[in-house]
Amino acid sequence: MLINSLVIIGICILYIFFLSRSNKKYFKYLLIIPAVILLFSVTIFPTIYSFRASLYDVTAITLYRPWEFVGLTNYKNLLSDSLTWKALILTGEYIFFAVLIEFVLGILFALLFDKVRGIFLSLFLLPMMVTPIVAGLIWKYFFNVDNGFINIIVRQLGGKNIPWLTYELLPIFKFLPNSLTKITELLNLNYAFFTVLVVDIWQWTSMMTLLLYAGIRSIPTEPYEAALVDGASKTEIFRYITFPLLKPTIAVALLIRLIDSYKVYDPIWALLGEGFKTVNIYLSVFLFRIHDYGQGSALSIIVLILVSCIVPLLFKVLTSREGVH
């Protein structure tokens, strides 16, 4: 440990020495070396290591032994496993509904706070400041079947306990015939999915609102003044001025929330444990419960490929035709 510390200190001293002696031509390149090393250490190297591990049979038993090369077997096993597809579908469905609802609510609240600000905006941002694991534990208490705050109110209003933290079908879908059971399970039309959505929307709508509100406040006043002179209605102003000029901000806000929604783990684990298998929960099962690091690495690479394909495409769609029409 002492030797490693001395090596790091020596490297830092050499770096400062070369930085002080370098000419202006190479000075700018030397400045970015620490950032490149850090980026390589925390992103590129782990990705390469995970890809290598995904091609081997790596478990807790064989981790410190020579790894057995299995090629694409881990990928084949994952893609032929129905649980993998269920996790991918569940994650996609969760991201779609969470981000869509947060965007709609966010733009409505952003327009509202553009007119009414002050303490209301500050109070509205409080959920975003709560740690995700704490938010999950708080809502787990609220959704408790017997002693939860929500069910206490429901009972006082004359209703029955609602099984929030279960995988029971939502009442609005109970009219569907039994022949569609597999479809309802695939689409996750249950209380558990609803409760997870509620927690995410409660916590992160404020972030979407803040980003969109900042975008609205950055729009110049001249187009609005010209539209009012021409007799445009509020709906027309929003459709032809606010929304088109807000498109770059919308693209950034949606991409930030898409990435954050994909990474969600803490509140889901606090609410439902390993039962609600999004990709991250499923990945944690491989890494921390069954200790199959080969298949866990393969799953992470599959998700990385999907995200790397979807995000640029989505960004291109969201940022297209940004001008005012």
Q: Are 268 and 276 a contacting pair, CB within 8 Å?
A: yes
**318 vs 248: CA distance, rounded Å:** 8
**Nearest Cα to Cα of residue 260 among 212, 311, 319:** 311
At residue 42, what are phi and psi to the nearest 5 degrees? -100, -10
Q: How many residues does the chain have?
A: 325
The pLDDT score that the predictor gives to residue 23 is 66
Q: Is 71 left (phi over 0), alpha (psi -120 to 50) or beta?
A: left
At residue 32, what are phi and psi to the nearest 5 degrees? -90, -5
Q: Are 211 and 173 a contacting pair, CB within 8 Å?
A: no
- Written as six digits, the tokens of 277 are 């298998």
* Tens-place pLDDT, residues 165-208: 888 888 877 777 776 767 777 778 889 999 999 999 999 999 99
Q: Is the pLDDT of residue 210 over 70?
A: yes
Residue 62 lies in a domain: no
Top-confidence residue, 9 or 212: 212
pTM greater than 0.85 (yes/no): no
Contacts of 291 (CB under 8 A, 6+ apart): 59, 60
**Nearest Cα to Cα of residue 96 among 308, 278, 322:** 278
Average pLDDT score over residue span 260-285 = 88
Residue 180 lies in a domain: yes
Q: Kindly state whether residues 145 and 243 are assigned to the same domain.
A: yes
- Written as six digits, the tokens of 45 are 């190297």
* Tens-place pLDDT, residues 217-264: 888 888 888 888 888 888 888 888 888 888 888 888 988 888 888 888
Q: Are 128 and 224 a contacting pair, CB within 8 Å?
A: no
Residue 41 lies in a domain: no
Residue 92 lies in a domain: yes
The pLDDT score that the predictor gives to residue 2 is 61
The pLDDT score that the predictor gives to residue 323 is 42
Residue 72 lies in a domain: no
**238 vs 50: CA distance, rounded Å:** 47
The total of structural domains in the chain comes to 2
The pLDDT score that the predictor gives to residue 201 is 94
Q: Kindly state whether residues 25 and 84 are assigned to the same domain.
A: no
Average pLDDT score over residue span 10-31 = 69
Query: Residue 160: which domain range?
Result: 77-318
Q: Are 263 and 91 a contacting pair, CB within 8 Å?
A: no
Q: Are 76 and 97 a contacting pair, CB within 8 Å?
A: no
The pLDDT score that the predictor gives to residue 199 is 93
The pLDDT score that the predictor gives to residue 202 is 93
Interior angle at CA 163, CA 158 and CA 166, nearest 5:
170
Per-residue confidence band for 15, with pLDDT thresholds at 50, 70 and 90 = low
Residue 69 lies in a domain: no
3-state secondary structure of 228: helix
* Tens-place pLDDT, residues 83-114: 888 888 899 999 999 999 999 999 998 888 87
Q: Kindly state whether residues 104 and 2 are assigned to the same domain.
A: no
At residue 53, what are phi and psi to the nearest 5 degrees? -65, -30
